[in-house]
A and B are shown apart, each in its own frame.
Chain A
Amino acid sequence: MSDRKAGVYLCKGCGIGDAVDMDAIEQVAVSEMKAPLCRQHDALCSDEGLKVIQDDIDGGEINQAIIAACSHRVMTDRFQFNGTQVVRANLREQVIWCHPANDEDTQMLAADQVRMGIAQAAKFDTPQPWTEGDFNRRIMVVGGGVTGLSAAREASLTGHEVLLIERADSLGGWAAKWSRRLPHRPPYRDPQDNDLGALVSEVEGDSKITVMTGALVTRTEGMPGKFTVEITRGGAAVLETVGAIVVATGWRPYDANKLGHLGYGASPDVVTGVELEEMLANGGIRRKSDGQAPKTVAFVQCAGSRDPEHLPYCSSVCCGVSIKQALLLVRSDPDAMAYIVFDELRTPGTAEEFYRQAQEAGVVFIKGKVKSVGADLTVTVDDALLGEEVPMTGLDMVVLATGMVPNSTNPDAEAEADEFQEQLKADINPAVPIPSAGFANGGEGEEPQEGFPWPWKDKTPTGGSILNLQYRQGPHIPMLADGFSDSHYICFPYETRRTGIYTCGPVRRPMGMAESADDAAGAVLKAIQAIGNAAEGAAVHPRAGDLSFPKIGYDICTKCRRCTVECPFGAIDEEEDGKPVVNITRCRRCGTCMGACPVRTIGFDNYNVQMISDMISAVEIPDEFAEKPRILILACENDAYPALDMAGINRHQYSAYVRTIPVRCLGSVSMLWVSTAIERGYDGAMLLGCKSGDDYQCHFVKGSAIAKERMSKVGETLKSMMLEEDRVISEEVSIADSARVADLIDRFAGKIGELDANPFKGF
């Protein structure tokens, strides 16, 4: 923007005017920073205050408003002026509420906040959204089981065309095999009719849905709004264009052949729950050995699940399924006996009523772990009640309640090249919580027990890719340590690491039919948002609506590939010569590429290396004799910055020597900023980001982990400048750390105070 007309508005409300000399601040803005216009007001957020700004806009006086008042986290909607850029300088939460009034250091901090705001505005351009070419609104759904069918139907009901891809020759998936389904409607007591056939008919009769069975997705390239997919059926490939993708590839039963200790294979009358379903759907339960109806049947729960040797997780549905099968058995034959041997009986929510019903119907529940099942159908139970091993004999049939394995890969396809398997492994870390130790001393106090660590951490699932993504970061949708796909977040179950691609149903988490249908609806909504936002050039969650996007200066780019490797969302591909290409609608605008770029040639219109460098440089650095050190804080805008605001709200006092700049993510931090600070004479720098590791909380996946990695190199730079390495630190700060962050700052400021002043001051 060439004709910037910045107005600085200084708010004296909420006690700011009482604690800070605003006339002196105005002098800084006008005389020193050459702001063309500066006004003071008693309450800028009042109607009168807003009118002052609006009048300046209407009169053509300004096209940028630098509002020095409260934090940008409040009054966000009040300080919005159509078409006018707004920059906020925080004088309330992070100045007067956490530093003494009418104090020299507080005054200097307030002045620097305004200096930084003016410097920010000078490099701030209104982002123009990227909307080149055509955007497709069709949704591809991969998987034609209950989840995929539901997704297809929901998308169609919302007005979207659907391309439904199913690997098998017919629709329905596993659920089509069930005779009856778990109760999901009141009174939750009885197995319900399996209504999947009706859903299949609805889908097949829906003119908006194109069904392709016997088909695989053999290539996926492009980005939200512009995916090109290659579908291969019977050796012939076709290309289709879609706007977003819902992956509903479901599950497969855990391979019972791996459960030899539970008698599978030793006797034909040891069957899996799935095999029992097939019998129920085809004339009733019969022994494979002699075709007779069994009179006594034992159900072995957690057959493979919750077992470090097999599946580490609970498959969720098996307790309900065994109850259903046992109920069907005893109801069809009043003489039959059903025993369910369980470790923990898991019928959460209203399914408790189903459990109660089975108990009333005479199904016997035995608490214990099954040690082994013999070829003679003797089930040896480690009976928790009796505290000893008890053999169950005289059984006619044993049913193994095998668990669910997510189809996060296609088990029938060949595994990918090693490099992609490695890529997949890298994506798995950071991952879900891995049991390792106790909680005392913050989890550091105890050695891991026997049987740990969890075995899946070092394994990758077998099989080929579902979508065959033609992405720099490999063909797979990233998965977690337990083999399931995203999301890792509690509050955002659809937060994906591949924008525009949403997983749902049992590929995401073990779940039953009703929940899968609901989950499908959720994923479809996210797909619709991705399509809509792509067409408008806007980001999706968590920076929803952000129109900025990374721009690469190709004249400077050295094709070093750091941005393509570090992007947490696989948004940047490489041309053959290594030239990075941003797939803009895949991008989530975290800025990790900007932080990665060693030649600092990636930036956003409203957030770039030069802007933050200028903000850092705008701060007035007192000379070494003033004994007023300066400490730069780069704070994650979602956790650390709000924590600092809340330190102010709670009136926690901390050193006024810090100068804080919010960043989109620590991953976006360019090491230039740290070196700029040191060269400008700052005495130290703190990077405040969120928790990394197994329980990572970064919504850009690995920002704080990347920052730590990069920090390790800063130490060497400092040493080469003959400075102490511990002048620059990085700390994990959660949003709830308002008291702790004040303490962290004071301790760091104390340490910096003990060091000599940065000798670069004044150069």
Chain B
Amino acid sequence: MAPNSQTILVVGGGIAGISAAIEAAEAGADVVLLERSPTLGGRVAGLNRYFPKLCHPTCGLEINYQRIKKNKNIKLFTMAQVATVEGQAGNYKVTVKTTPRHVNAKCTACGACSEAATSEIPNPFNYGLDTVKAAYLPHEMAFPMRYVIDGSVVGTPEGDAIKSSCKYDAVDLEEKEKTFDLTVGAIIWATGWKPYDAARIEPYSYSESPDIITNVEMERLAAHNGPTKGQIVRPSDGEPARKVALIQCAGSRDTNHLPYCSAICCLGSLKHAAFVRQQYDDSQVDIYYIDIRAHDKLEAFYQKVKADSGIHFIKSKPGSIVVGEDGRPTVCGEDTLGRDIYANAYDIVVLATGMEPCSAREYRVPVEVEMDDYGFIVPKTGNGSGIFSAGVAQGPNDVSTSVQTATAAALRAIQAVRG
């Protein structure tokens, strides 16, 4: 039977979703790309640098955004997510729910609304490590380049001031949640991941000290456009973080938390060690690990980090992290190799929390698809199915393998819609 619709719906605008959408569109397919937040880029937009080249994710994003801007086959909706899906391959009816941005397409990104705003909200881009005005541009590489007005100012004098500051009639404080329907032939689920909730690993005292942070927060600290403009400092007092512990498998490889290996955290921490060492000559970084999983060619990056005399590897899964009397976080446990009992104090301790797929709970595919016990969607090949997964919705993937899965998913979606 010929498919009813040849359009491919891509759900999620992180690196996997962006890649799937562009790759399908550049092969001639019509694509609708949905992103739940105000801007594309997902988790990678918040990364300071990629391993192993220590290059900036925004470089690749710039290329991808240029590709989207020049491609007429892609329709993009931000602040939009899938509510329901009905039908079968070749003919899905999808209801999309949008949440209000309170800024319409007339926005020129001039910034007047932000100047008019007076209240501040926790900055989602920086994982709440700082605040941002209630009328804000998500970040300097936001795509679309359009402001967002937080719902908290609706119906307040501040809201009115924001609205009247806009010369282009772009502020819409009346905007409500809306739904609309799409008919599509195939769906690529690329909803990505969220960091495992570090507070759930109770012995690691994440909630007890501002100087115990997660790996995604470390990315923001090290980023030039982060809360400290790239200065790696103790959140408690802003002093340089010269002695840093990186704790691997914070949640991962643990049947009480995430039973699988999140695959990226070792490389991520090797990168964080490089960040600290590049910033402070007299710094010391200790990496607490079970196995360093620098698989395939990434081994070279591991060897490069290992060659740095300021970076030490301690084979141990720490038993606990406590806040010492001087307020410094102290990592406690037993060294698996030397059998030494240790209690080492640091300026900051970074928990290499794992990846939890959004497809597991908060952003499930609303129809039956084959999932494993962890919430990853099992990849399908051309067997009549019209729903495919890409990126971390499929498994713990790094950027490169996410793009790999996304490109494969794009091909299989094309096969599905062309019948």
Q: A residues touching B (Cβ–Cβ < 8 Å)?
A: 13-15, 42-43, 45-46, 70, 73-77, 154, 157-159, 185-188, 306, 312-316, 344-353, 356, 367, 384-385, 387, 432-443, 445-446, 448-449, 452, 454, 482, 484, 489-494, 509-511, 515, 517-519, 521-522, 524-526, 528-529, 532-533, 540-542, 544-545, 638-639, 642, 646, 649-650, 690-691, 695, 697, 699, 734-739
Distance between Cα atoms of A519 and B410 in the complex (Å) = 12
A43 and B28 contact, Cβ closer than 8 Å, known pairs A314-B295, A437-B307: no
Given contacts A347-B261, A435-B300, A521-B412, contact A734 B108 (CB under 8 A): no
Sort A-B residue pairs by CB-CB distance and give the 9 closest, nearest first: A491-B60, A438-B308, A522-B407, A186-B372, A521-B408, A439-B277, A14-B110, A348-B263, A435-B304
The interface residues of chain A lying within 8 Å CB-to-CB of B414 are 158, 525
Q: Smallest distance from the beta carbon of A230 to chain B beta carbons, Å? A: 29
B57 an interface residue at 8 Å Cβ cutoff?
Answer: yes
| B224–A738 touching, CB < 8 Å | yes
Are B293 and A346 closer than 8 Å at their CB atoms? Answer: yes
Tell me the bound Cα distance from A352 to B263 in angstroms. 10
- Secondary structure class of chain B's binding surface, majority of residues: loop
Q: Is B53 an interface residue (CB 8 A)?
A: yes
Task: List residues of B (68-109) whose CB comes within 8 Å of A's CBs.
Answer: 69-71, 106, 108-109
Say whether B344 faces chain A, with CB atoms less than 8 Å apart: no
Contacts of B50 in A (CB 8 A): 490-491
Asked if A157 and B64 sit within 8 Å, CB to CB, the answer is no
Q: A433-B300, A491-B64 are in contact. Are A440 and B277 (CB under 8 A)?
A: yes
Interchain CA distance A690-B62 in the complex, whole Å: 13
Chain B residue at minimum C-beta to C-beta distance from A504: B404
A residues near B337, Cβ cutoff 8 Å: 367, 384-385, 387
* Chain B residues whose C-beta falls within 8 Å of the C-beta of A439 in the assembled complex: 273-274, 277-278, 305, 308, 310-311
Q: A525-B408, A734-B55 are in contact. List 14 more A-B contacts (CB 8 A).
A: A43-B168, A70-B109, A74-B145, A157-B382, A312-B299, A314-B294, A344-B292, A352-B259, A433-B53, A452-B303, A491-B15, A491-B50, A518-B405, A521-B408
Contact of B67 with A13 in the complex, beta carbons under 8 Å: no
Decide if B59 touches A690 in the complex (CB within 8 Å): yes
**Across-interface contacts of A434 in B (CB, < 8 A):** 300, 304
Taking CB atoms, residues of chain B closer than 8 Å to A14 are 108-110
How far in angstroms is the closest Cβ of chain A from B250? 15
Count of chain A to chain B residue pairs whose CB atoms are closer than 8 Å in the complex: 287
Is the Cβ of B297 less than 8 Å from the Cβ of A509?
yes
Given contacts A77-B69, A384-B315, contact A482 B278 (CB under 8 A): no
Chain B proximity of A185: nearest CB distance (Å): 6
1/0 contact trace for B273-308 toward A, CB 8 Å?
110011001010000000111111111110111111
The answer on a CB contact under 8 Å between B60 and A490 is: yes
Interface-located stretch among B150-158, B171-179, B210-218, B393-401:
B393-401
**B317 at interface by CB-CB < 8 Å:** no
| Contact in complex: B167, A43 (CB < 8 Å) | yes
**B411 close to chain A: CB less than 8 A:** yes
- Of B291, B304, B415, which one neighbours A344 at CB under 8 angstroms? B291
Interface membership of B27, Cβ < 8 A: yes
A734 to B110, CA, bound (A): 25
Chain A residues with CB under 8 A of B308: 437-440, 446
Q: What separation, in Å, do the CA atoms of A39 and B71 have in the docked complex?
A: 29
Instruction: Encode contact with A along B367-380: 1 for CB under 8 Å, 0 otherwise.
Output: 00000111010110
User: How many Å lie between the Cα of A449 and that of B403 in the bound state?
Assistant: 35
Q: Which of B315, B399, B408 has the most CB of A within 10 A?
A: B408
Cβ contacts under 8 Å, B59 to chain A: 491, 638-639, 690, 697, 734-735
User: In whole Å, how far is A195's beta carbon from the nearest beta carbon of chain B?
Assistant: 11
- In the complex, what residues of A have CB within 8 A of residue B373's CB? 186-187
CB within 8 Å for A350 and B64 given contacts A433-B301, A695-B55: no
Residues of A within 8 A of B363 (CB): none
A446 touches B64 (CB 8 A): no
- Shortest CB distance B227–A (Å): 14
Q: Verify B54–A695 contact, CB threshold 8 A.
A: yes
- What is the number of residues of chain B that contact chain A, defined by CB distance less than 8 Å? 101
CB-based contact B67/A313 at 8 Å: no
B23 within 8 Å of A (CB atoms): yes
Minimum Cβ distance to chain A for residue B375 (Å): 11
How far is B336's CA from A544's CA once the two chains are assembled, in angstroms? 52
Q: Are B55's CB and A697's CB within 8 A?
A: yes
Report the bound CA distance from A284 to B197 in whole Å. 46
Q: Within 8 Å CB of B109, what residues of A?
A: 14, 70, 74
Complex Cα distance, B409 from A519, in Å, reads 10
Which listed residue, B53, B67, B382, touches A544 by the CB 8 Å rule?
Answer: B67
What would 17 A/B residue contacts be, using CB atoms closer than 8 Å? A13-B167, A70-B108, A158-B415, A185-B378, A344-B291, A348-B396, A350-B374, A350-B396, A352-B260, A432-B297, A433-B52, A433-B53, A491-B57, A492-B60, A521-B407, A691-B55, A736-B58
Report the Cα distance A660→B69, complex, angstroms. 23
Chain B residues with CB under 8 Å of A697's CB are: 53, 55, 59
Let me know if B110 and A15 touch, CB within 8 A: yes
Contact A432 B300 (CB under 8 A): yes
Contact A490 to B53, CB < 8 A, known contacts A13-B108, A387-B338, A446-B309: yes
A519: chain B residues within 8 A (beta carbon): 404, 408
Q: Which residue of A has the minimal Cβ distance to B64?
A: A491
Does A352 lie within 8 Å of B70, measured CB to CB?
Answer: no
Whole-angstrom distance between the alpha carbons of A177 and B83 in the complex?
A: 47
Chain B 22-33 near chain A by CB (<8 Å), digits 1 or 0: 010011100000
Of A77, A448, A528, A736, the residue contacting B56 (CB under 8 A) is A736
Q: Is the C-beta of B141 less than 8 angstroms from some C-beta in chain A?
A: yes
Q: Chain A CB within 10 Å — which of B54, B261, B295, B403 has the most? A: B295
> Could you tell me if B261 and A646 are in contact, using CB atoms closer than 8 angstroms?
no
Tell me the bound Cα distance from A515 to B402 in angstroms.
11
Cα–Cα distance between A344 and B260 once the two chains are bound (Å): 16
